[in-house]
Amino acid sequence: MILVTGAAGFIGYHVARALATRGDAVLGIDSLNDYYDPALKRARLAQLGGGNFVFERCDLVDRAAVQTLFARHAIDAVVHLAAQAGVRYSLSHPHAYVDANVAGFLNLLEALRAHPVRHCVYASTSSVYGANVKQPFAVGDRVDHPVSLYAATKRANELMAYVYARQFGLVLTGLRFFTVYGPWGRPDMAAFKFTRAILAGEPIEVYNFGDMRRDFTYIDDVVDAVVRVLDRAPASEDGVPHRLLNVGNSRPEPLLRFIEVLADAIGKKPQMRLLPLQPGDVKETSADIEPMRREYGWEPRTTIEAGLPEFVRWYRGYYGID
């Protein structure tokens, strides 16, 4: 059985569906918190129900509940995607990040220590690169200048995972995701926010006056990367079974181009409210994905010209908009 944490979340839903579809027994857990509309999370779970997927509501912050979960189920592997996400939210709700991302991850690592599995793949983020100006970001680059608490907690996860791999032999791989988008996406992310505003005839907020570039990565490519990595545990580096890898499109796009393609898919011209760079944001992200290409044969295939119309199609269908 494969445990997927955050199974009601955006990436968690897609990963759980892919694993269940190929025949794996999947146990999904989620706290179903209200960071964004829980109805969207429940709708994702409704798509997953039955077959090889089962769901249990569980908050990783609850130490006893996590230990009980592992004691009751024969878990063979873990995809850990549960987290308090979002950069801007961390400015106003810092404790949510320490609770979910640090304490929750510690509880998971302790459960894995007591109930070892063949491999745990966990989500990190491109945000750990922080104020780095060298492009593209490579895993070997320095990551000691975070610009948000969210980034700091995810870097803490990477260090915690390394310690547990070194001291206790846990087999762990961290994936640094770069700006994931696609159907069933998060309402706090650009594609979703912009689509909602454009369809409503409201202005979209464009930070740094539009002078930004992002390595927008389509969800299907991300799922492909997660499954490939999960199926092959990392070779030990210096005797430590822990690895970090970038998962990005490797084609950074200007934000204004992203908006143009999205608006074309919607069929409506956007109104833009140009604003300065927000605290916690960075001007550009770009992923060095050569290790994923070389070692896993993984190649992102979806451009924004193909991916954004798919998102818009899903959005219109989900909300019943002609």
Which positions are catalytic? 150
DSSP letter at 234? P
Residue 140 tokens, joined: 């070997």
Cβ contacts of 68 within 8 Å, gap of 6 or more = none
SS3 176: strand
Smallest CA-to-CA distance from 148 within 205, 100, 85 is with 85
Whether 280 contacts 148, CB under 8 Å: yes
SS3 242: strand
Smallest CA-to-CA distance from 162 within 152, 178, 173 is with 173
Residue 135 tokens, joined: 């492009």
Number of separate helices (H) and strands (E) present in the chain? 12, 13
Cis amide linkage into residue 116, ω under 30° from 0? no
Residue 311 tokens, joined: 């998102």
Full DSSP string of 118-138 = SEEEEEEEGGGGTT--SSSB-
SS3 173: strand
Which helix (H) or strand (E) element contains residue 151?
helix 149-168
